[in-house]
Amino acid sequence: MALGYVRPARPEDAGEIARIQLATWRVAYRRILPRHVLENLDEAWLARRWTAAVQEPPSAAHRVLVAVEQAEQSYLVGFTAFGPADAEALAPNEPAEALGADVAAVTDLLVEPRWGRRGHGSRLLAASVDLWRSDGFASAVAWAFDGDEATRKFLTSTGWAADGAARALDVEDMLVPQLRLHVALPAEPAPTPPAPAAPVD
């Protein structure tokens, strides 16, 4: 029986995070991004970036989480990264104040395709929501490629919706459209009051 859980990323995870990112992009984005761009991505360069993201985050609210599948052995199978919404989360010509200080921005949410449909994406998202609440965020945003139906379907199935913002990334002179999704964090359920003590006869 396989078990899955989520934990904060460690510096020694950076190589596996880079490998997962590269493997996932080459499958999920093969019809979205130019082939030569995907083929020329440097795994070692990505690993160095993830090492820095884990070891030297810009703030305490910038976090990287990893999903682990645990059977006879443990495998890193996915990850997410997020932080306070900044200029990268804005749409073109959108004023800086459009996204307030209480908005989190997801920059990455990936599960390696061979480990898909095993609950890892949902666990990553649930763990993120818990941390967003503890960090004082009230909502979150994420950009998704317009052609990335799997990511859009996953997020909308969990309550996210397009907020009307759109942009196009210039990738090697090819404009790749993206749309922004957002979600308001659900209110935490009220704690269940303790049951009254049974009368003693």
Instruction: Say how many domains are in the chain.
Output: 1
**Count of other CB atoms within 10 angstroms of residue 103:** 18
Residue 88 within a domain:
yes
User: Which CATH number do you get for residue 139?
Assistant: 3.40.630.30
Residue 190 lies in a domain: no
- Rounded CA separation 56/35 (Å): 32
pLDDT string in tens for the chain (201-residue length): 458 999 999 999 999 999 999 999 999 999 999 999 999 999 999 999 999 999 999 999 999 999 999 877 889 999 999 999 999 999 999 999 999 999 999 999 999 988 777 889 999 999 999 999 999 999 999 999 999 999 999 999 999 999 999 999 998 888 999 999 999 997 665 455 554 444 443
Question: Which of 195, 125, 129, 177 lies closest to 154 in space, CA to CA?
Answer: 125
Q: Is residue 49 part of a domain?
A: yes
192 located within any domain: no
The answer to whether position 191 is within a domain reads: no
Q: How far apart are CA 156 and CA 86, in angstroms?
A: 23
Measured in residues, the chain has a length of: 201
| Nearest alpha-carbon partner for 129 in 188, 86, 60 | 188
The verdict on residue 27 lying in a domain is yes
pTM flag (> 0.85): yes
Q: Is residue 21 part of a domain?
A: yes
Domain around 95: 4-184
φ/ψ of residue 117, rounded to 5:
60, 35
